[in-house]
Amino acid sequence: MRELVLLCPGTSAEAISDALMDAGVLSVSVEDADLDTDREQPLFGEPGSEPETLAWESNRVVALLPDGADPEQILELAAQSLGWRIDCPRELRQVPDADWVRLTQSQFGPIEVGERVLIVPSWHADQLAQVRPGRIALKLDPGLAFGTGSHPTTHLCLEWLAEQLRPGSTVLDYGCGSGILTIAAVMLGASATVGVDIDEQAVQSTRDNALANEVVLDAMLPDGLRDGQYDVVVANILSNPLKVLAPMLAGRVRAGGQLVLSGVLERQADEVAAAYTPWIAMSVWRAREGWVCLSGVKS
């Protein structure tokens, strides 16, 4: 396979990328052309939001060409789509053959979360037999859209469950995603455990992962959640939804039960906690890499 590499300014990088995709390339990536130099430019946005700028001052646009494709014809089609000629400096380079699946998998090994939780990708299934007593092992592959345990907020929630969850507790995981927290709760001794998500694919992902881990739980859309309260309610979402959902989530916690919230930046902790003040006094339980886990007991 071959890659067409264009050097272009930030004002045109996104438009050229879209035009190349329309012209039939297999994929397009945009890189900072000044990466690893003193001119390197950071580009990022707040979690849950898009950055204001979608390109750097100087960009390397890399387009993967289909086998047999004529790069000049691709550029001509892209130019027709844009309505102007693409005059960027360019080069054509070979992409070496490789077992991309194996290479990708080699980057992801088991993830340790505290002393009690281990997340094991399917290609490391042989390690499941070596898990030491007192530790649970979840089978879950990285790359899933709904959470795999690599993010600090998921770590924080898993740590809370591992350290604070009492055997036999009922648990509601609101915004369950892949089901990682719901499944971990069952493995850590919870009884009736329910995962809820607004995305049907996430609900199915939770069910599939529960089956793979041989645990029994319920997973559903919000409309399917029956009336009732729980010993523990956990929600790993983002700060704005957590504030909007405060009355509902607090109402799902039984008297004496615990509420656990994450997906909150340290600077957002006070405003999220304030949203729950009428029902539960929330405080920071633990912080990690700029994120916090809030918890509180319902009086």
At 236-286, the pLDDT tens digits run: 999 999 999 999 999 999 999 999 999 999 999 999 999 999 999 999 999
Cβ contact 74:23 at 8 Å? yes
pLDDT, tens digit (0-9, with 9 covering 90-100), for 136-181: 888 887 655 456 667 899 999 999 999 999 999 999 999 999 999 9
Burial code (b: 16+ CB inside 10 Å, e: under 16) for 268-299 equals: bbeebbebbeebbebeebeeeeebbbbbbebe
Is the pLDDT assigned to residue 44 strictly greater than 60? Answer: no
CATH classification of the domain holding 20: 3.30.70
Is the pLDDT assigned to residue 229 strictly greater than 90? Answer: yes
Specify the pLDDT at position 288.
Answer: 93
Are residues 136 and 40 both part of a single domain? no
Are residues 180 and 291 both part of a single domain? yes
Are residues 71 and 173 both part of a single domain? no
Are residues 158 and 290 both part of a single domain? yes
For residues 220 and 202, what is the distance between their CA atoms, to the nearest angstrom?
A: 9
Is the pLDDT assigned to residue 43 strictly greater than 80? Answer: no
Q: Is residue 102 part of a domain?
A: no
Q: SS3 of 159, please?
A: helix
Q: Is residue 136 part of a domain?
A: yes
Specify the pLDDT at position 57.
Answer: 84
Are residues 83 and 130 both part of a single domain? no
Phi, psi (deg, nearest 5) at residue 103: -65, -40
Confidence of residue 42 (pLDDT cuts 50, 70, 90): low
Provide mean pLDDT across the span 124-137: 77
CA angle (112, 158, 267) in 5-degree steps: 110
Give Cα 45 distance to the centre of its chain.
15
197 exposure class (CB count in 10 Å sphere: 0-12, 13-18, 19+): buried
How much of the chain exceeds pLDDT 90, in percent? Answer: 66
Confidence of residue 119 (pLDDT cuts 50, 70, 90): confident
Instruction: Give the residue from 74, 97, 120 where a domain finishes.
Output: 97
> Mean pLDDT, the chain, as a whole number?
88
Q: SS3 of 125, please?
A: helix
CATH classification of the domain holding 210: 3.40.50.150
Are residues 142 and 269 both part of a single domain? yes
Specify the pLDDT at position 127.
Answer: 72
Provide mean pLDDT across the span 204-229: 95
Q: Which domain holds residue 199?
A: 110-297
For residues 72 and 14, what is the distance between their CA atoms, to the nearest angstrom?
A: 20
Q: Is residue 104 part of a domain?
A: no
Are residues 218 and 280 both part of a single domain? yes
Q: Is residue 196 part of a domain?
A: yes
Q: Is residue 44 part of a domain?
A: yes
Phi, psi (deg, nearest 5) at residue 45: -130, 175
Are residues 269 and 147 both part of a single domain? yes
Are residues 74 and 202 both part of a single domain? no
Are residues 140 and 118 both part of a single domain? yes
Q: Rg (Cα) of the chain, in Å, rounded?
A: 24
Q: Is residue 198 part of a domain?
A: yes
Q: Is residue 121 part of a domain?
A: yes
Q: Is residue 103 part of a domain?
A: no
Are residues 173 and 206 both part of a single domain? yes
How much of the chain exceeds pLDDT 70, in percent? Answer: 88
Are residues 169 and 24 both part of a single domain? no
Confidence of residue 108 (pLDDT cuts 50, 70, 90): low
Taking phi first (over 0 means left), then psi (-120 to 50 degrees means alpha), and beta for anything else, what does residue 90 get? beta
Instruction: Give the residue from 97, 121, 136 where a domain finishes.
Output: 97
Number of domains into which the chain is organized = 2
Instruction: Give the residue from 70, 97, 124 where a domain finishes.
Output: 97
Confidence of residue 52 (pLDDT cuts 50, 70, 90): low
